[in-house]
Amino acid sequence: MPLLTILIVLIIAGVLLWLVNNYIPMDGKIKKILNVVVVIVVIVWLLKIFGVLSYLKDLHV
């Protein structure tokens, strides 16, 4: 996967998370949980892309 594609996906994920945090009224606890889930999913995705977690190839997120 080209580095540019990875960068674009990270920027889009960050902007979407920022929009949700600023413009959708939610309880602070729910926002915190949402932020943690998104960060964990992005980190796992990046580790999978770079081959660090090669055993997760069969897992589809």
In a domain, 61, yes or no: no
Count how many domains the chain has.
1
Q: Which of 41, 22, 42 is nearest to 31 (CA)?
A: 22
In a domain, 29, yes or no: yes
Percent helix, strand, coil in the chain, to 5, is 75, 0, 25
The boundaries of the domain holding residue 30 are 3-56
pLDDT tens digits for 10-44? 999 999 999 999 999 999 899 999 999 999 999 98
* pLDDT band, residue 61 (cuts 50/70/90): low
Question: What value does the mean pLDDT take over residues 37-59?
Answer: 82
What is the percent of the chain where pLDDT is above 70?
A: 87
Q: What is the DSSP letter of 59?
A: -
In a domain, 23, yes or no: yes
Q: How many CB atoms lie within 10 A of CB 3?
A: 7
pLDDT higher than threshold 90 for residue 53: no
* Predicted local confidence at residue 58, as pLDDT: 66
